[in-house]
Amino acid sequence: MKILIKNGRVIDPANRIDRPADLLIDRTTIQRTGDSIILKEPHEVIDASGCLVLPGLIDMHVHFREPGREDQETIIGGSIVAAKGGYTSVCTMPNTTPVIDNQALVRFIKLEADNGPINVHPIATITKGAQGVEISEMGELVKAGAVGFSDDGRPVMNSLVMRRALEYSRMFDTPIITHSEDISLTEEGVMNEGINSVLLGLKGIPREAEEVMIARDVILTRLAKGRLHVAHISSRGSADIIRRAKEEGIDVTCETAPHFFALTDAAVAKHLSMAKMNPPLRTEDDRLAMIEGLRSGVIDVIATDHAPHLSNEKMQEIAYAPFGIVGLETAVPLIISILVKEHGFPYIDAFSKVTSNPARILKLEAGTLSEGSIADITIINPDKKVRIDEKFITSKCKNTPFLGMELYGSVECTICNGQVVYRKK
């Protein structure tokens, strides 16, 4: 059966297209886009009046907690939440229990995801056991379906190991994705080091913990002629280092998270552990640097770092609570409200960060509306407000500082592989 999406505004960042058009899906592929498509055969019609018709969104940094912490989230459960957030492809980080460092576990994730609504692409560890000592069997992992390598949350502190990983991974053209942090500088920090941490008497995490490591990693990437993707950058200094590396021709890309362009460390006093993540929320200057970096292209990707934690884990004294917030359902409203409506980003630019750019970095067959491509489509009403409350967040874990906010940007429908996987009631 064909699906005709009518009267929408088609935004296709991969082809730099932004125009009113209809879009026709034939089974699992996009047949064509065009003005006022009329079909004689029976078909389903989705009215997208007033809505954006986008390639299905890609989140290259999520934590679905399976295997190990299925009480927090599962591959299927996380996929359903992602579909509701407008995502048709996600990349799961390997810091589960056990960590994803062998082909059997990569295949397990893909097998689980086969019964879910969207595409799940596993990221495997850089090193065996994420111990930072010996590099993983990258060839086997890629063959099993891994799209990138990361020891997320446990930075590879040994520079030689990092060099070898960057060198070895070249033969698969698969990026090394770093959580860049010098953990000796972080100590027991719980929030950004600065005026707010000093006033609140909380241990700070200096921006330098992140910047020192990014500087090392881009320099090692130059040495190894490898491919580096820096996860969740949060500071102006980090963006500057990556800008200079790019100018120098080093093969580096990076992402930031919606909370880094939405909030500052002033949120900690009010939201307490709900505003605790690593890297931490920084200052207003850093927040603006994230927006500038996204505008200039220094920052390629917006990824959520979706990190579910149970209420009883988060509802503790801030020093004891774990790092991380959920983000899959708030990303679209934050992109629309802050980047598009407040800072005037063209839709093509804003949404390239969650479609064509991550697809390019990870070599995914996704993130485009070209004729003949797989029918992954997200329909968003950018002028409809959503209220972020515990009902809106369907994720099992509600750990987000955005509760209570009203934002523009309502995901109306998500189509993955030609199937409607989410439809707003």
Partner 1 sequence: MSGLQRKDLLDIESLSVEEIKLICESARYFKDLFTRSVKTVPVLRGKTVCLLFYEPSTRTRISFELAAKRLSADLINISVATSSVVKGESLIDTVHTLEAMKADIIVMRHAVSLAPHFLSQNINASVINAGDGFHAHPTQALLDAYSIMEKRGSLEGLHIGIVGDILHSRVARSDISVFKMLGARVTLVGPPTLVPDEFRKYGVDIAYNLDEVLPDLDVIQMLRIQKERQKGNMFPSIREYHKLFALTSQRLDRCKKEIIIMHPGPMNRGVEIQDAAADSPSAIINEQVTNGVAVRMAIFYLLAGGAPLEGINKE
The catalytic site residues sit at: 305
Residue 170 to residues 135, 142, 226, 227, Cα–Cα distance (Å): 13, 12, 6, 7
- In the stretch 300-319, what mask flags binding to partner 1 with x, by CB under 8 A? ------------x--xxxxx
**Complex with partner 1: residue 196 or 357, whichever CB lies closer:** 196
**Complex with partner 1: residue 213 or 274, whichever CB lies closer:** 274
Residue 190 to residues 10, 163, 265, Cα–Cα distance (Å): 43, 30, 11
Within 311-370, the residues that bind partner 1 by CB under 8 A are 312, 315-320
CB-based contacts of 28: which residues, under 8 Å, 6+ apart? 374, 375, 417, 418
Angle at 297 between CA 291 and CA 300, to 5 degrees: 90
**Complex with partner 1: residue 111 or 315, whichever CB lies closer:** 315
Note whether 418 and 25 are within 8 A (CB): yes
Closest CB 70 distance from partner 1, rounded Å:
22
Note whether 179 and 268 are within 8 A (CB): no
CB-based contacts of 219: which residues, under 8 Å, 6+ apart? none
Local structure of 312: helix, strand or coil: helix
Closest CB 394 distance from partner 1, rounded Å:
24
Closest CB 309 distance from partner 1, rounded Å:
14
Angle at 56 between CA 50 and CA 58, to 5 degrees: 130
Measured CA to CA, the distance from residue 137 to residue 169 in angstroms comes to 10
Residue 82's Cβ-side half-sphere holds a number of Cα atoms within 13 Å equal to 36
Among 103, 273, 304, 378, binds partner 1 (CB under 8 A): 273
Q: Is the dihedral of CA 289, 290, 296, 299 positive or negative?
A: positive
**Complex with partner 1: residue 39 or 319, whichever CB lies closer:** 319
Output the six-digit token pair for 82: 């992602």
**Complex with partner 1: residue 256 or 273, whichever CB lies closer:** 273
Output the six-digit token pair for 413: 């429908």
Measured CA to CA, the distance from residue 7 to residue 23 in angstroms comes to 9
Closest CB 262 distance from partner 1, rounded Å:
21
Closest CB 200 distance from partner 1, rounded Å:
5
- By CB under 8 A, tell whether 389 contacts partner 1: no
Q: Residue 98: how many CB atoms within 10 A of its CB?
A: 13
Give the DSSP per-residue string, 111-179: HHHHTSSSEEEEEE-SBGGG-SSSB--HHHHHHHT--EE--TTS----HHHHHHHHHHGGGGT--EEE-
Closest CB 206 distance from partner 1, rounded Å:
12
Number of residues forming the site for partner 1 (CB under 8 A): 17
Question: Which residue stretches of 225-342 are H helix?
Answer: 236-247, 258-262, 267-271, 284-296, 311-314, 331-334
Closest CB 325 distance from partner 1, rounded Å:
16
Measured CA to CA, the distance from residue 378 to residue 44 in angstroms comes to 16
Q: Residue 46: which of 351, 367, 380 has the closest Cα?
A: 380
Within 164-223, the residues that bind partner 1 by CB under 8 A are 194-195, 198-202
**Complex with partner 1: residue 173 or 317, whichever CB lies closer:** 317
Output the six-digit token pair for 110: 């893909």
CA 320 to chain centre: 26
Closest CB 401 distance from partner 1, rounded Å:
13
**Complex with partner 1: residue 160 or 199, whichever CB lies closer:** 199
Within 233-272, the residues that bind partner 1 by CB under 8 A are 269, 272
**Complex with partner 1: residue 146 or 202, whichever CB lies closer:** 202
Residues engaged in binding partner 1 (CB under 8 A): 194-195, 198-202, 269, 272-273, 312, 315-320
